[in-house]
Amino acid sequence: MEGEPFSLQATPGELPKSISGNIPDPEQDRKTYNLFILYQASRALSAVLEVEELLELSLDMTTEVMNTAWGLFYLMSEEQDALELRKSKGIDAKTIPSSLHLAEGMVDWAKGKMEPFSFDELIPEMPFSRSFPDLRNLTQANPYFLIPIFHQLRFIGLIVLGRRLDGGVFTENDLELLSTLVSLSANAIMNAHLYELAILDGTTKLFVVRYFRQRMREEIKRASRYTQPLTLLMLDLDLFKLVNDTYGHPSGDKVLADVGAIVRKCTREYVDIPCRYGGEEFAVLLPETDTEGGYHVAERIRKMIDKTRFLKENIRITISAGLASYPTDADTDEELVERADLALYEAKRLGRNRVVAHDQSAIHII
């Protein structure tokens, strides 16, 4: 889902009466101003479910509210051994470190801080050199403020801000507002992360079957309501057992991850619904797509996989695909899966590395 850019502008009627209308003057009513900002931030964050969008939105909010020239968002890596640069604003990302190594004691050092702090006060500290040596690489960017990000006392990231555009300094109220704002962002990001863990396959980063089945039922109802076509692709890697037997399951997982990336690249983000259906089998639901359109998507995936060389051994992998469409081939989700599967079996029977539609006459038309 595309998130709206964060803006401090308010539309009357969208806010509680106490903070509706234009942006309150922070010099006249600091409490109302803070409530206004936090309410707007909460609304914006709650409307987004994707982690990447939340990272961008959080950085947008922080730089706008604090009126800084630029900002960086570092997030803890999956290996928990480094902070990785995920978003940047107002600065060339090529000029700054893409990761910050977490040396021994860094997390404890960050917990001791908890609050936002200036870069200048960080440099003289003795623990700095042993706890966060890579941060020195940011010096050339002239950072001004750093905000450690915690979720339930777990250190998950760091926001780095440049100087304020008005040349001013952060007040105590600014720091209090900043801490609450970042806390809201941390909760939203972790909730979105947990949601993604529940609906995404860990290896391929495609949707899991349970979520896919639910979405398929919803999309069929929508296609019926608006008299639109819907096509299902079933794809299966050819002779994939040989990869696991020859190179081992970790290498097989790497191939599956790369195939998942190809499937995502060949489908429409936020429209199509790609899924790891089980083992080395994949499925893709294509809303508002007829048989011909579905055939071309399947062929695009097949050709890209065929020309890609996987692993360091440069091995070749192929994929077979079958497809069926609603309402021409099926009336229900069960029938759609069954008929796409039949087409997939036919693709295997005909020699693999090919696409077959359930309606064979459609193949000739295409």
Could you check whether 17-198 and 209-365 share the same CATH topology?
no
Number of neighbours of residue 75 by Cβ within 10 angstroms: 20
What are the respective helix, strand and coil percentages of the chain, to the nearest 5? 50, 20, 30
What token pair was written down for 232? 């299902």
CATH architecture observed for domain 17-198? 2-Layer Sandwich (3.30)
Closest to 74 measured CA to CA, from 139, 134, 27: 134
Domain ranges of the chain: 17-198, 209-365
Q: How far apart are CA 15 and CA 343, in angstroms?
A: 54
Q: What's the whole-number mean pLDDT along residues 162-191?
A: 88
Coil, strand or helix at 366: coil
Q: Which pLDDT does position 268 carry in this prediction? A: 95
CATH, range 209-365: 3.30.70.270
Active site residue 280: yes
Q: Which pLDDT does position 311 carry in this prediction? A: 92
pLDDT bucket at 124, cuts 50 / 70 / 90: low
Least confident of 30-44, 127-141, 268-282, 295-309: 127-141
The predicted-structure confidence for 271-312, as pLDDT tens digits, reads as follows 999 999 999 999 999 999 999 999 999 999 999 999 999 998
Query: 220-256 b/e with 16+ CB inside 10 Å = b?
Result: beebeeeeebbbbbbbbbbebeebbeebeeebbebbb
Q: What's the whole-number mean pLDDT along residues 239-258?
A: 94
Q: Which of 14, 84, 115, 280 is flagged as catalytic? A: 280
pLDDT bucket at 31, cuts 50 / 70 / 90: confident
Number of neighbours of residue 117 by Cβ within 10 angstroms: 15
